[in-house]
Amino acid sequence: MLYSRTFFSLAIANLSCLSSYGAFFLFPLFITAHGGDQVDIGIIMGVFALSSVLCRPWISNMIDRVGRKKSYAAGSMIMTLMPLAYLFFRGALDNFYLPLIMVRIVHGIGFAICITAVFTYIADIIPHERLNGGLGMFGISGLMGTALGPVLAEIIIHRAGFDLLFIVAAAIAGVGLIIQYPLKDTYVPLVKPAESSFFLVLQKRRVFLTAAVAVLFGFGLAAVNGFVSPYASERRIFFISLYYIAYSCAAIITRLFGGSFIDRQGEDTIIPYALALVGGGLLLLVFMKESCLLFFSGFITGCGHGLLYPALNAHAIRGEPQNVRGKITGAYTGSIDAGAFIGSVSLGYVGELAGFQALFLAAGAVVLCAIFIFRRVNIFKLSRPSG
């Protein structure tokens, strides 16, 4: 059965985790308020993703060894505690730059554990024939969180400042920590450890292709997560969260009506179109002058995200045994984080040197390049026996 008590409990926990995470989409405003520029935004937002990448092999092995439930609990604890650490940062950015980097690293590790554990857990309990649709439906909880988080953040920042934002972000993550507590782990580790290591799993052709596309997808997400809010602020658009509301609503609608469609058509057919939507939506931001285009760009990009994330996930794990799914999910989500780190840092420099329009032009172009890579590798794959 797809919609079990465990499914809904994990969905609520994931909603809480992603709401706390989404509140930090407006964290670039904190950086600029303390004297930072676009390069600082890129570095500080990027190290969050970098820590996720560097710890991903360890996290993936942990999930396959100690279980999904215990791993998720550890990640939720970090997500609950770390927002409170931001309360201690006062004065000019230069005065607390290194401690802030350290907090962002630990915060990123907690988020990586949560995301990898919860998607591995949910993949274990979804019926095989409904894998794509099930992952997509579960992902709605996270999309709701990434819409709710920025809205709450913007309201709180304008009315009470950043200190209350950090307290609320910690409290929201704490809800997820409490919700997951009664759940039982459905995965029983093998008595004999699996022979496949994280890096051996990554060498599988299907997994490697998914990872390569995910890196470019993550590059585009870096622009969404780190640079939309300062760009909209520069253009004097007051309701910045409008972008994230449109983005998440579009992705949710796509998940509701597109999951079974993807299962029927297959991931190989859907992924290029989804990449085109994400890349095209980012390119629209080049022409943004008012909130109408901000909303439309968010909606188009969100449609692409709604199709792409579960399709790539299912593409990677379909047909793979349970004992390596944690590693495969780690490779997939870690690749997105790798792209997000590369994108955050490089786009920060692009924005500082050439402006926000050049930044979003570069982000959209990189995502569109993924279409070419995916199609070429798939053609090559069809010409050789699967390995």
Maximum Cα–Cα distance for the chain, whole Å?
60
CATH of the domain at 345: 1.20.1250.20
Q: What is the mean pLDDT of residues 208-221?
A: 91
pLDDT of 88 > 50? The answer is yes
pLDDT of 26 > 60? The answer is yes
pLDDT of 252 > 50? The answer is yes
Between helices 356-382 and 267-284, what is the axis angle to 10°?
A: 170
| Residue at 135 is within a domain | yes
- CA–centroid distance for 102 within its chain: 20
From CA 276, how far away is CA 261, in angstroms rounded? 18
| Residue at 162 is within a domain | yes
- CA–centroid distance for 55 within its chain: 16
Q: What angle do CA 74, 77, 82 make, to 5 degrees?
A: 125
**pLDDT tens readout for residues 288-322:** 888 889 999 999 999 999 889 888 888 787 766 66
pLDDT mean across residues, the chain: 86
Of 121, 120, 176, nearest to 148 by C-alpha is 176
pLDDT at 195: 53
pLDDT of 194 > 70? The answer is no
Contact of 16 with 172, CB cutoff 8 Å: yes
pLDDT of 380 > 50? The answer is no
Q: State the total domains in the chain.
A: 1
pLDDT of 285 > 90? The answer is yes
pLDDT at 200: 73
Q: What is the mean pLDDT of residues 280-286?
A: 95
Pick the residue with more confidence: 188 or 18? 18
Residue 264's CB is within 10 A of a number of other CB atoms, namely 11
pLDDT of 127 > 70? The answer is yes
From CA 13, how far away is CA 176, in angstroms rounded? 4
| Residue at 387 is within a domain | no
Residue 217 domain boundaries = 5-184+198-382
Q: Return the C-alpha torsion angle 304, 169, 327, 323, nearest 10.
A: -110
Residue with tokens 């010409």: 383
Q: Give 384's pLDDT tier (boundaries 50, 70, 90).
A: very low
pLDDT of 206 > 80? The answer is no
Ranked by mean pLDDT, the top range of 69-83, 177-191, 242-256 is 69-83
| Residue at 192 is within a domain | no
Contact of 201 with 328, CB cutoff 8 Å: yes
| Residue at 190 is within a domain | no
> Which SS3 state, helix, strand or coil, does residue 25 take?
helix
pTM of the model: 0.77
Q: Which two tokens stand for residue 50?
A: 């970098």
pLDDT at 236: 85
| Residue at 191 is within a domain | no
From CA 53, how far away is CA 132, in angstroms rounded? 25
Residue with tokens 């609950």: 80
pLDDT of 264 > 60? The answer is yes
| Residue at 189 is within a domain | no
H-only helix segments in the chain: 5-22, 27-33, 38-66, 68-85, 97-125, 131-159, 162-179, 198-202, 205-234, 241-265, 267-284, 291-317, 325-354, 356-382
Residue 18's contacts (CB-CB under 8 Å, 6 or more residues apart) are 141, 142, 143, 144, 145, 146, 149
Between helices 97-125 and 131-159, what is the axis angle to 10°?
A: 150
